[in-house]
Amino acid sequence: MELYIHIPFCKQKCLYCDFPSWDSCADSIPDYIDALKKDLVNSLEPSFVRTLRSENNVRNSLSGASAANNRSGCGKNGGAEPNLVPIETVYIGGGTPSFIDASYIEEIMELVKSRAKISENAEITLEANPCTVTKEKAQRYLACGINRISMGVQSFNDGELRLLGRAHDAAAAHKAFYVLREAGFNNISIDLIHGLPGQTAPDFLASLDKAIDLAPEHISAYGLIIEAGTPFNDIYADWEPDEDEQVRIYTHTVERLESSEYFQYEISNFAKRGFESRHNLGYWIGEEYLGCGLGATGYAGSKRVTKEKKLEEYISNPLKSYTEHITAEDKKKEFIFLGMRRKSGINAVEYEKIFKEEFPENYKKIFKKYSPEYVTVENNSYRFTVQGFLVSNTILSEFM
Amino acid sequence: MSKSDQSRIRNFCIIAHIDHGKSTLADRIIEKTGVLTLREMQSQVLDNMELERERGITIKAQTVRAVYKAKDGNEYIFNLIDTPGHVDFNYEVSRSLAACEGAVLVVDAAQGVEAQTLANVYLALDHNLEIMPVINKIDLPSAEPERVINEIEDVIGIEAHDAPLISAKNGINIEEVLEQIVSKIPAPGGDEDSPLQALIFDSVYDSYKGVIIFCRIMEGRITTSTRIRMMATGAEADVVEIGTFAPGKFIPCEELSAGMVGYITASLKNVKDTRVGDTVTDAARPAANPLPGYKKVNPMVYCGMYPADGAKYGDLRDALEKLQLNDASLQYEPETSIALGFGFRCGFLGLLHLEIIQERLEREYDLDLVTTAPSVIYRVYKTDGTMLEITNPSNLPDPAEIEHMEEPVVSAEIMVTTEFVGAIMKLCQERRGVYNGMEYIESTRALLRYELPLNEIIYDFFDALKSRSRGYASFDYEIKGYVPSKLVKLDILINKEEVDALSFIVHADSAYDRGRRMCEKLKDEIPRHLFEIPIQAAIGGKVIARETVKAMRKDVLAKCYGGDITRKKKLLEKQKEGKKRMRQIGNVEIPQKAFMSVLKLDEE
* Residue B33, pLDDT above cutoff 50: yes
- Give residue A87's pLDDT: 96
Query: Which residue in B528, B531, B559, B573 has the most chain A C-beta atoms within 10 A of its own C-beta, making it the best mutation to test that interface?
Result: B559
- Paired residues of A2 in beta bridges: A89, A289
Interface of B with A (CB under 8 A): 530, 552-563, 565-566, 568-569, 571-573, 575-576, 579
Distance to chain A for B312, nearest Cα, Å: 23
Kindly state whether A324 is in contact with chain B, defined as any CB-CB distance less than 8 angstroms: yes
Q: Which of A149-153, A195-199, B86-90, B373-377 has the lowest mean pLDDT?
A: B86-90
Instruction: Provide the pLDDT confidence category of residue B1 given band limits of 50, 70 and 90.
Output: very low
| Overall average pLDDT of the B2-13 stretch | 80
Q: Is the CB of residue A137 less than 8 Å from the CB of residue A176? A: no
Q: What's the sign of the alpha-carbon dihedral A19, A25, A28, A29?
A: positive
Say if pTM beats, i.e. exceeds, 0.90: no
**Burial of residue B354, with CB atoms counted within 10 A of its CB: 0-12 exposed, 13-18 middle, 19 or more buried:** buried
Q: Which of B598, B395, B370 is nearest to B489 (CA)?
A: B395
Q: Is the CB of residue B452 less than 8 Å from the CB of residue B432? A: yes
Please count the other Cβ atoms lying within 10 Å of the Cβ belonging to residue B435.
12
Kindly state whether A333 is in contact with chain B, defined as any CB-CB distance less than 8 angstroms: yes
Distance to chain B for A370, nearest Cα, Å: 10
Q: Which of B452, B435, B468 is nearest to B376 (CA)?
A: B452
The string of pLDDT tens digits covering residues A276-322 is: 999 999 999 999 999 999 999 999 999 999 999 999 999 999 999 99
Please name the member of B554, B562, B573 whose beta carbon is closest to the beta carbon of A297. B562
Instruction: Provide the pLDDT confidence category of residue B2 given band limits of 50, 70 and 90.
Output: very low
CATH 3.30.56.10 fits A2-284, yes or no: no
Q: Which of A295-299, A323-327, B216-220, B463-467 has the lowest mean pLDDT?
A: B463-467
Instruction: Give dist(CA B116, CA B300) in Å, integer.
Output: 20
Can you list the positions of beta strands (E) in B486-604? Answer: 487-494, 497-498, 504-507, 533-539, 542-549, 582-585, 588-591
Q: Which of A90-104, B114-128, B258-272 has the lowest mean pLDDT?
A: B114-128
Q: What is the CATH number of domain A332-400?
A: 1.10.10
Q: Which of B131-145, B267-281, B541-555 has the lowest mean pLDDT?
A: B267-281
Spell out the residues 6+ positions from residue A213 whose beta carbon is closer than 8 angstroms to its own.
Answer: none
Q: Which residues of A touch B575 (CB under 8 A)?
A: 393-394, 397, 400
Q: Which residues of B touch A299 (CB under 8 A)?
A: 562, 565
Instruction: Provide the pLDDT confidence category of residue B399 given band limits of 50, 70 and 90.
Output: confident
Query: Which residue in B532, B561, B582 has the most chain A C-beta atoms within 10 A of its own C-beta, making it the best mutation to test that interface?
Result: B561
Share of chain B above pLDDT 90, in %: 48
Q: What is the ipTM of this complex?
A: 0.90
- Give residue A369's pLDDT: 93
Can you list the positions of beta strands (E) in B186-326? Answer: 197-206, 210-219, 221-223, 227-230, 236-238, 241-246, 249-253, 255-257, 261-265, 279-282, 301-307
Give domain limits for chain A: 2-284, 332-400
- Give residue B233's pLDDT: 87
The string of pLDDT tens digits covering residues B60-76 is: 556 888 888 899 999 99
Q: Which residues of A touch B552 (CB under 8 A)?
A: 243, 391, 394
As a whole number, the mean pLDDT across chain A is: 90
- Give residue B55's pLDDT: 52
Instruction: Provide the pLDDT confidence category of residue A161 given band limits of 50, 70 and 90.
Output: very high
Answer whether A400 sits within 8 Å of B556, measured CB to CB.
no
- Give residue B374's pLDDT: 86
Q: Residue B352: phi, psi to the nearest 5?
A: -65, -45
Answer whether B553 sits within 8 Å of A306, measured CB to CB.
no
- Give residue B47's pLDDT: 45
Q: Which of A78-92, A377-391, B444-458 has the lowest mean pLDDT?
A: A78-92
Alpha carbon distances (Å) from B334 to B302, B313, B376:
13, 10, 18
Instruction: Give dist(CA B498, CA B594) in Å, integer.
Output: 15
| Overall average pLDDT of the A211-218 stretch | 97
* Residue B41, pLDDT above cutoff 50: no
HSE-up (13 A, CA, CB side) for residue B360: 20
Q: Which of A164, A105, A159, A67 is nearest to A293 (CA)?
A: A105
- Give residue B86's pLDDT: 66
Q: Is the CB of residue B546 less than 8 Å from the CB of residue B536? A: yes
HSE-up (13 A, CA, CB side) for residue B243: 13
- Give residue B247's pLDDT: 65
* Residue B53, pLDDT above cutoff 80: no
Q: Residue A281: phi, psi to the nearest 5?
A: -55, -35
| Overall average pLDDT of the B494-520 stretch | 91
Answer whether A398 sits within 8 Å of B553, measured CB to CB.
no
Instruction: Provide the pLDDT confidence category of residue B556 given band limits of 50, 70 and 90.
Output: confident
As a whole number, the mean pLDDT across chain B is: 86
Closest alpha carbon within chain A to B569 = A334
DSSP B291-347: PTT-------EEEEEEESSGGGHHHHHHHHHHHHHH-TT-EEEEEEETTTEEEEEEE
The string of pLDDT tens digits covering residues A58-100 is: 433 333 333 334 334 344 444 445 589 999 999 999 889 999 9
